[in-house]
Every structure is written in structure tokens, then in C-alpha cells.
Structure 1
Amino acid sequence: MLLHLSTWPEVERYLTHRRAIILPIGSTEQHGPTGLIGTDIITAQAIAEEVGQRTDTLVGPGIPVGMAHHHMAFPGSMTLRPSTLVQLLRDYVMSLSAHGFREVLVINGHGGNIASVTAAFYEIYEEMRLAGRDTTPPLRCELCNWFLMPAVAALQQELYGEREGLHATPSEVAVTQYIHPTRIKIAPLDPHPGTSSSFSDWRDFRTRFPDGRMGSDPSLATPRDGERFVQTAVAEIVARHGDFLNGV
């Protein structure tokens, strides 16, 4: 069940028996010469919708632009300031809370969002405390970074080993190939892209990683791999966060 494809009476009925909602968040940023710019929101949205189907949980609108300052030397990339992302997520969650939602699971597809999303949760909690707006049951937020989960990491290692890399990875590219098989891109790739995870700002990132990849070989990606990553991620999210979505 998707919030944007529902009517308000449908949501009202949903809230009579469930208080959980899933919010996908990603980024609009470069993913190397063959990765789609929307990779992070495409992956998070697809996984969120499958989790929603399996757990009978409403899925809210995705946040497609995240904190991607370090990718701004590459055309097409977009970024929010960390403070903007915190306030955006705050407004999303507070709006939903006003209607009775109490469990908010954020499924994230972009590493650059982690600090801001975590900060947003505590901004929300502290605002409610200071305003005396404690709810019964209390509002709770959880963050799930699908690409960092143990079962996903194990599959990354099984399929790609060290060639998984850190950005524009074959695992995330594979998921986009599975979701959008008519948008598979091919381009010449340097077989030895930079592998360091150290950089300062957007200019330094482009200097260290000229084609946008961080030690990754996305030429290894296949749609079949993408399907395996989606199913693996969904199964682990349901196992780890299923009780939370059920209000436990």
C-alpha cells in the first residue's frame, strides 16, 4: 500500500489497526560512468515497497535528494545541506505523527544520509519533549541502511569480493538493472579505480576518484544479482524490523 496512491479514507482505515509507515530515502548523485544518478532512491524505494507488501505496512513518499556534497563536481548530482535534510525529515515525520503514525522505519540507500537522518530523529524527539507533546504510544523512529546489513554484505563478498568497492558498487548497480532492465549502461572503465575512503570536499573527491567510482567494478553487475540483493535485503529487514513495524 503506497501513501501517494491511497485516499484519505483508506489511510484512516489503515490507522485503525496499524500505526507503522516506511519512508525510503536516497540521493540524486553520480554513480560512475555506468550507474544511474537515481541509484540510491531507486534501490531504497524498491526494497521499501517489497518490505511494505510483505509486512502489510504503508509506504510513504521517498526522499530522492540527500546529503551528497562530495559528489557535486559531477554533472547531474544534487545535494541538500545536512541541516536542510534534518528539517525535511522532521517535517515528514511530524506530519505523519499528527495523524497517528507511531512507528517510522526509514530505509536508506545512501551512506551520506546516515548522520543527518540520525540527527533528525533526535531533533524530533527533543522537540516533542520540550513542547510537552509526548504521545501514547510514543513516536519511535528506526533507520535501516539496506546496503550495510550483514546478509547483504555477505552476498556482496560472495559475488564480487574486493571488487565491490565503496561507491558505484556492482551490488547497487545490479539492483537498478533488475528494477530498470531497459536502462542498463555500458562504458569503458578503468580496471583500477581509487580505493581510498579518505577525502575532504567535493573537489578533493573528484581529484581522488576521477570517474566517480571508489574501488568498484560495476561491470560485474547483472539483473539476476540485483534480484538476489533485493530479496536478501527484504528478508533481513523483515526479520530485523518486523516487530518494530508491528508496534512491539
Structure 2
Amino acid sequence: MYLGAESWPDLETYFAEESLALVPVGSTEQHGPHLPEGTDHLIAESLARTAASQSGYLCTPTVNIGVSSHHRQFHGTMWVDPPAFREYMESLARNLTSHGIDRIIFVNAHGGNIEHLREVGRRLHKDGTAYAIEWMWDQSIPDLVDDLFEVNGPHGGPKETAMIMHINNALVHENRLTDARDNGLVDWGPKTGRQFGARTFFDSIENTDCGVLGDQTDATPQKGEELFEAATEQLCKLSEWLAEQDDEELLPHEHV
């Protein structure tokens, strides 16, 4: 069920019977020369709406802009500062609780949002308002991602490229995949951008001229479909698990 397509009497029926909502969250930022700037929010929305359709739970409209200032040197990147993002997401979540929602899954597709969504979850949990958790699609299927791609890349790499190929292949500039690989950073790892244990970069452009990591030429629509179906299955299972939890188990524990 998609909230934006329903009338209020039908939503009243849902809120009377269910207390869980999926909130897709992404970004609008550079994803290299080959992918659209909406890559993250397109992935988040597609996963959330598909999982909602399969599970029967509610999906809200998508939050399209996140914490992305580390990509600001690339044309078109949009962002909000972290405090503003956290306040907005907390306010949005509290809005949902006014209708009876007390379990929220932030269906996230942007790494820069992770710590801030988890902080919002901590705030809501601390005062017993709601149980809100952050879910990142690729972290739900790490073994499959590793199996499909020799060098998957955390940003604009083959896993995101394959996902967009599956969701809307017309948005992928396939004639630029080789340029994205050759002008990006393929050989990255835990030591990339670090010296003596310290992280020595702040912005994406300091590591990669075109803004992406990994080997984009390894992506195919078929791999994207496999990723999408596996991640959707994980999200549906998470939704069912959360919906079945006892209220008391989700509240903060008393001091020992």
C-alpha cells in the first residue's frame, strides 16, 4: 500500500489494523558519468514500494535528499546539513506516530544517511515513541553482492549500476561505463584514503576524479534483478519480524 495513492478513509482502515510503515530514504547526488543523480532514492523507493506491495504494509512517499555534502564538487548534487536531516526525519517519524504507527523501517539506499537515521531511531526509542530502524539494501545481502562482482564498489559501482539497469535501464549511460571505471577508483580497500590509522579525506573527489569506485563494466540488468529480488525478500522478512514483536519488547529497558 502506497500512502500517496490512498484516500484517508482507506488509510484509517490500515491504521486501525497495522502499526508499521516503510519510509524510503535516499539522496540526489552524483553517481558518476553513467548513472542518474537520483540513483539512491530510485533504489530506495523501488524496494520499499515493491516490499509494501508484497507484504501489505504501508509505504510512505520518498525522502529524496539526504546527507551528501561530500559530493558537492560534482554538478547537481543536493544535500541538507546533518542536524537538519535528523530533525526532519524525526519530525516525519513523529508525524506517523500520530496516526498510530509505532514501528518504522527507514528503507535506506545512501551510506551518508546511515548514522543519522540510526540517531533518529535512538531518539524515538529513548522516549518510547516508536521503534524505528535503518535498513540498507546492500547490507542485507552482502554475500550475494560479493559473489556477483569481483570489485563491487561502495558508490556508483557495479551493484548500484546493476540495480538501476534493472529498475530503469534507460537512465544508464552504458556507453560511459568504461570511462567511469577508468577515471574512477577500481583498486580501493580498507586502506584507501588512510594514513597510519587516520582517515585523510573528506570529500569523494579526493579519491576519484569522476566520483565512483569499482568496476562498472561488471554490471548487467540480470544481476540487478537478482540483487533486487533478494533485497526485497529480506525487507519483507524484516517487516514481518518487526510487526510480530511484542510492544513491551520494543520499549527501552528499565535501569538495572
* Matches of 1:183 and 1:41, distance apart in 2: 14
Aligned ranges 1:107-122 → 2 under 5 Å: 107-122=107-122
Matched position secondary structure for 1:230: helix
- Per the alignment, residue 200 of structure 1 pairs with 201
- Per the alignment, residue 253 of structure 2 pairs with none
The size of the alignment, in residue pairs, is 233
Q: Identity over aligned residues, as a percent? A: 24
Contact 1:103 1:247 in 2 (8 A): no
* Matches of 1:207 and 1:144, distance apart in 2: 28
- Per the alignment, residue 208 of structure 2 pairs with 209
2:171 partner amino acid: R
* Structure 1 residue 190 displacement after superposition: 4.2
- Per the alignment, residue 169 of structure 1 pairs with 157
Contact 1:41 1:64 in 2 (8 A): yes
Contact 1:199 1:208 in 2 (8 A): no
Contact 1:66 1:85 in 2 (8 A): yes
* Structure 1 residue 229 displacement after superposition: 0.8
* Matches of 1:141 and 1:158, distance apart in 2: 31
* Structure 1 residue 172 displacement after superposition: 1.2
* Matches of 1:143 and 1:115, distance apart in 2: 9
* Structure 1 residue 178 displacement after superposition: 1.1
Moved more, 96-105 or 219-228: 219-228
* Structure 1 residue 28 displacement after superposition: 0.7
Over the residues paired in the alignment, what is the CA RMSD in angstroms? 1.7
Aligned ranges 1:76-155 → 2 under 5 Å: 76-126=76-126, 129=127, 139-149=130-140, 152-155=141-144
2:219 partner amino acid: A
2:162 partner amino acid: A
* Matches of 1:37 and 1:199, distance apart in 2: 26
2:231 corresponds to which of 224, 227, 233: 233
Matched position secondary structure for 1:91: helix
* Structure 1 residue 167 displacement after superposition: 1.1
2:205 partner amino acid: R
* Matches of 1:36 and 1:199, distance apart in 2: 28
* Structure 1 residue 246 displacement after superposition: 4.0
* Structure 1 residue 26 displacement after superposition: 0.6
- Per the alignment, residue 220 of structure 1 pairs with 218
TM-score (norm 2): 0.85
Moved more, 231-240 or 104-113: 231-240
Matched position secondary structure for 2:16: coil
* Matches of 1:232 and 1:73, distance apart in 2: 34
Gaps of 5+ in 2: 194-198, 247-256
* Matches of 1:227 and 1:206, distance apart in 2: 30
Matched position secondary structure for 1:233: helix
